[in-house]
Chain A
Amino acid sequence: MSKPAKITVRDFDFYYGAAKVLHGITLDIPERQVTALIGPSGCGKSTFVRSINRMNDIIPEARGEGTIEIDGRNIYAGGTDVVALRRRVGMVFQKSNPFPKSIFENVAYGLRIGGVRNKRELHETVEKSLVRAALWDEVKDRLNASAFALSGGQQQRLCIARALAVDPEIVLMDEPASALDPIATTKIEELIWELKENYTIVIVTHNMQQAARVSDSTAFFMLGKLVEHGETKTIFMNPKEKLTEDYVTGRFG
């Protein structure tokens, strides 16, 4: 069941200015599996997931200490090419954020700025990405329509297709379904299940049931600390820590 670690986190601290928001996180995230990060608001799970592709770098006075290694290389080491890092580590956000462009151009965007000019290559990759994001059948006849013409659930899958187009190895998802209705949510969850064949997925969710459904392993964060990380079925059936038990049973407070 347990696969080799794709992401290895050791004693990772994170600060916003003087405020320390992550405390000594140590965690192995297995390759080609879904790892869910759960915990109450403000527990640091979003900060942590954004540390994996250094999205927090854009916040002034934010800094990380300790190491996060992807395939054994520390992404916080000096000289790391952050643009190349984000190409390997794609991200999908809570609110779908398509560009004000056509469906096709949204998916092709990353390829174009990556210098791909060959029309056939663009078309093939756009199609493949839309297929992988389980959206192709719904949009193949209207690729030139505006992305805003799509429903919320479709827009979110479009954003997933856009993330997949640049061929990442890791996909980070920060509450990818929390703005969607139950059917669109089920589609996203099914998609996540399919995607783990090829990608390492880290998903932040405040919906514990969603974490239980989609993930192989679950990490429970609280007050900036990692309380427990284990197989999802263990976390939800028989967690080791009392705090985890209280959280997953809704006995918090």
Chain B
Amino acid sequence: MHIQRHFDRDLEEIKDLLLRMGAMVEESIQQSIRALLDRDSAIAEEVIANDDRIDRMEVLIDQRVIELIAKMQPAAVDLRFVATAMKITPELERIADLAVDVCERVIELSREPQIKPLVQLPRLAEDAQRMVRQALDSFVRRDANLARQVIKEDDVVDQLTVDSFRSLLTYMLEDTRNISPAIRLTFIGKYFERMADGATNICEMVVYLVEGTIIKHAPPQPA
């Protein structure tokens, strides 16, 4: 016997709001990458201006979740779902802030000469973007396997961040005039790496949602 509960509609609404927030964040990341590759300050300004909407969304979702806890006293998987929702929103908000940080550096870079063609950074950015998208997919589909796969990809992103920094370091050593733009690009690499960390955190929550196991701060299990 399955009872249709109006509570399920409330949960569905929270999921929809989270997905809308996720779509906004993905858009910010996408735009920040474009701004970086095209050295386009106008797009960068747009991302910065749109960040307010994402912040408001975070507050809205938090309110809804707290109301739901107060009214419905969720249990078991429902409880894990609302706990997950509450932990995912700040991660998304932080990821959006990182996209804003990228855009601020892009605006600064646009006033300086380009020191080198970008090699590792575009890959790093795309990997981070894909991880965020897949993290959200794993949440929507309640797919712990996908979540675990995304978590593994974080190592690749970390390695790309190190490679990017090493490469930029050689430019700085070569010519001190490169230091300022190279540091900005190093920051940008770090921002994308932090986005991937955010995606990893979301995925850890998805595993908790699906299986009830806390996997963060634990050594990875052999496959």
Contacts and interface: CB of A to CB of B under 8 A. Distances in A.
A183 B1 contact: yes
A81 to B, nearest CB: 36
Interface string A181-198: 001001100100100000
B67 A183 contact: no
Given A183-B1, A193-B6, A233-B70, 20 more contacts: A183-B3, A186-B3, A186-B5, A187-B3, A190-B3, A190-B4, A190-B5, A190-B6, A212-B70, A212-B71, A212-B72, A212-B73, A213-B7, A213-B72, A213-B73, A233-B67, A233-B71, A236-B70, A236-B71, A237-B70
Contacts of A193: 6
Contacts of A233: 67, 70-71
A213 B70 CA distance: 9
Which secondary structure dominates where chain B touches chain A? helix
- Describe A's contact surface by its main secondary structure: helix
Interface residues of A, number: 12
B66 interface: yes
Interface in B124-177: none
B122 to A, nearest CB: 46
A232 interface: yes
B206 to A, nearest CB: 27
Contact of B66 (A190, A212, A237): A237
15 contacts: A183-B1, A183-B3, A187-B3, A190-B3, A190-B4, A190-B5, A190-B6, A193-B6, A209-B73, A213-B7, A213-B71, A213-B72, A213-B73, A232-B71, A236-B71
Interface of A: 183, 186-187, 190, 193, 209, 212-213, 232-233, 236-237
Contacts of B4: 190
Chain B contact residues (Cβ within 8 angstroms of A): what range?
10 to 19
Nearest to B7: A213
A248 to B, nearest CB: 9
A190 B72 CA distance: 12
A232 B73 CA distance: 14
Interface in B1-33: 1, 3-7
A237 B72 contact: no
A216 to B, nearest CB: 10
Contacts of A190: 3-6
A209 B72 CA distance: 7
Contacts of A212: 70-73
Contacts of A183: 1, 3
A173 to B, nearest CB: 17
Interface string B52-88: 0000000000000011001111000000000000000
Contacts of A187: 3
Contacts of B5: 186, 190
A233 B67 CA distance: 6
A237 B1 CA distance: 33
Nearest to B72: A213
A186 B72 CA distance: 12
A210 to B, nearest CB: 10
A1 to B, nearest CB: 12
A237 B68 CA distance: 10
A166 B217 CA distance: 62
A234 to B, nearest CB: 9
A51 to B, nearest CB: 27
From A186, A232, A236, residue with most partner B Cβ within 10 Å: A236
B129 to A, nearest CB: 37
A236 B73 CA distance: 11
Q: Which 5 A-B pairs have the closest CB atoms?
A: A236-B70, A212-B71, A237-B70, A233-B67, A193-B6
A190 to B, nearest CB: 6
Contacts of A236: 70-71
Contacts of B67: 233, 237
Contacts of A209: 73
A237 B5 CA distance: 22
Contacts of B71: 212-213, 232-233, 236
Nearest to B66: A237
B201 to A, nearest CB: 27
A187 B6 CA distance: 11
A213 B7 CA distance: 9
Nearest to B67: A233
A113 B1 CA distance: 37
A237 to B, nearest CB: 5
